[in-house]
Amino acid sequence: MVKRAIIDFNFLFEREAAHDILSEALEFPGYYGRNLDALYDCLNEYSGLIIIKNADFSVDSGYAKFVAKVISSADEANPNLSCAWFKGDIPQKNEYHKNLSRLEFVMTYACTGNCRHCSEAGKDRGFKLDGEAAAKSAVYASAVYDIESVMAFGGEPLIFAKEVAKIMKAAKNSGVKLRQIITNGFFSNDEEEIKKTARLLKRCGVNGVLLSVDSFHQEVIPAGPVKLFAGELISLDIPIKLNPAWLVSKTDRNPYNLKTFEALKDFKAMGIPEASGNIVFKEGAAKENLSEYFGGESEPINPYEQDPNDVRAVCLCPDGTLYGRPALGEEIIEAIAEYKP
Ligand code: SF4
């Protein structure tokens, strides 16, 4: 079971008291040896998030500085442990983000597709989100905010599957319940690579895959590797849903939607259910290629827009920024703290 503990370093000055506090906060077993070696051993068995406050070593911190070294070493060695360190108290939530519950990670704008409806078309494809640093962003954000879901997308996120895995693993350690990716399912033609990637997603704790299947994707994405990948996810019990883009509305009988119904049939025959999907909105390539479908009475709006006074999801860009400033690792807390509508 994933745990979550808060340790106040102000109370770890004396050795005996420190081990009492650590043992209780981290729910160590009765045979805990109450020394630094035993602490390291127990931390190596720990699964979850440790939030450390008052970790200020610029002043004499007594035994706490030895504890800090052990926790840091265990954090590096144990993939199931994540730590968030704060020099002072745990930061307050930004008032406009008090309901923040979702973290989104745009891994890259690079893609194996080039869809005519793509809202991300024209964006710089040269960046790749640093998975290690973004994973720390997930940990710090989860330490301060009640994060319930994490989503990685792109571009095509699985071009950088290992980076995605680092973020998902950290989210799992931090107690984030829903860990999803949106993918077009095509990142390799190699059967072994496809299977390996599916297993990696299983290991790192991905528990939701939204597979983009519709007339637009199927124009440019080969179905074979996508079906192989989908089949692997099913065999590994990773929940997967089809996530089609509809033009105008799902009920509109335009040629694109009719082809989408056909494309979905194939995948539904594999037992994959359909999610609500989304409506193509006027941005990126869609603006150029599908202009005749926009301008009606109920023009679809960008579904990612939200109330600026009640931000519930934040999105890290491939260059590691949020709100136009660096947001990797602990900096995500600063980036959110500085936000004003
Ligand atoms: S719509 Fe998705 S798969 Fe298609 S080009 Fe854009 S990011 Fe890639």
Check whether residue 235 and residue 118 sit in a common domain: yes
- In whole angstroms, how far apart are CA 34 and each of 17, 72, 285, 340? 10, 18, 61, 46
In this prediction, residue 60 carries a pLDDT of: 78
**Total domains, the chain:** 2
Mean pLDDT of 291-319: 84
Q: How far is the CA of 113 from the centre of ligand 1 (A)?
A: 5
Q: Are residues 47 and 103 in the same domain?
A: no
Query: In degrees, to the nearest 5, what angle opens at C-alpha 161 toward C-alphas 195 and 326?
Result: 170
* % of the chain residues with pLDDT over 70: 98
Rounded to the nearest whole angstrom, what is the distance from the C-alpha of residue 268 to the centroid of ligand 1? 21
Q: What is the rounded distance in angstroms from the CA atom of residue 272 to the CA atom of residue 265?
A: 10
Ligand 1 probe mutation, 112, 114, 118, 256, most atoms within 8 A of CB: 118
- Are residues 9 and 108 located together in one domain of the fold? no
Residues 142 and 253 placed together within one structural domain of the fold: yes
Residues sharing a CB contact under 8 Å with residue 289, sequence separation 6 or more, in sequence order = 116, 117
How far does residue 187's CA lie from ligand 1's centre (Å)?
12
Residues with CB under 6 Å of ligand 1 are 111, 113-115, 118, 120, 154-156, 184, 212, 217
35: domain CATH number is 3.30.370.10
Same domain, 126 and 236: yes
- Asked if residue 214 is part of any domain, the answer here is yes
Whether residue 170 is predicted with pLDDT greater than 70 in this model: the reply is yes
**172 occurs within a structural domain:** yes
Tell me, what's the pLDDT at 86? 97
If asked whether residues 307 and 326 sit together in one domain, one would say yes
Q: For residues 209 and 44, give the distance between their C-alpha atoms in angstroms, rounded to a whole number.
A: 30
Atom of ligand 1 nearest to the CA of 155: 7
Query: Does 259 map to a domain?
Result: yes
Please write the tens of the pLDDT for every residue from 245-304.
Answer: 999 999 999 999 999 999 999 999 999 999 999 999 888 899 889 988 887 666 776 777
Looking at the structure, tell me whether residues 105 and 222 fall in a common domain: yes
Please indicate, yes or no, if residue 255 is contained in any of the structural domains. yes
Q: Pick from 340, 341, 321: which is nearest to 332 by CA?
A: 321
Condensed to tens digits (0 to 9), the pLDDT of residues 179-204 reads 999 999 999 999 999 999 999 999 99
Residue 90 lies in a domain: no
First to last CA, the chain: 38
pLDDT per residue as tens digits for the range 12-59: 999 999 999 999 999 999 999 999 999 999 999 999 999 999 998 877
Q: Calculate the average pLDDT of the chain.
A: 94
Using the 3D structure, point to which of 55, 85, 115 is the last residue of a domain: 85
The verdict on 108 and 244 lying in the same domain is: yes
User: Which of the two residues, 325 and 299, has the higher pLDDT score?
Assistant: 325
**Residue span of the structural domain in which 66 resides:** 3-85
pLDDT (0 to 100) of residue 26: 96
According to DSSP, the residues that pair with 52 across neighbouring strands are 7, 85
Whether residue 324 lies inside any domain: the answer is yes
Nearest C-alpha to atom 4 of ligand 1 is from which residue? 115
Q: Is the dihedral of CA 45, 48, 49, 52 positive or negative?
A: negative
Q: Note whether residue 298 is domain-resident.
A: yes
Token pair in block for residue 203: 């290991």
Nearest-atom number in ligand 1 for the CA of 284 is: 6
Of 85, 109, 126, which residue sits at a domain end? 85
Q: Is the dihedral of CA 5, 201, 141, 212 positive or negative?
A: negative
Same domain, 104 and 73: no
Q: Say which CATH number the domain at 323 has.
A: 3.20.20.70
Q: What's the pLDDT score for residue 72? A: 96
> Do 289 and 151 lie in a common domain?
yes
Residue 70 maps to a domain = yes
Instruction: Tell me, in angstroms, the distance from the centre of ligand 1 to residue 90's CA.
Output: 39
User: Does one domain contain both 232 and 127?
Assistant: yes
Same-domain pairing of 73 and 104: no
Single out the residue in 24, 54, 85 at which a domain terminates: 85
Nearest protein Cα to ligand 1, atom 3: 113
Work out the average pLDDT over 143-155: 97
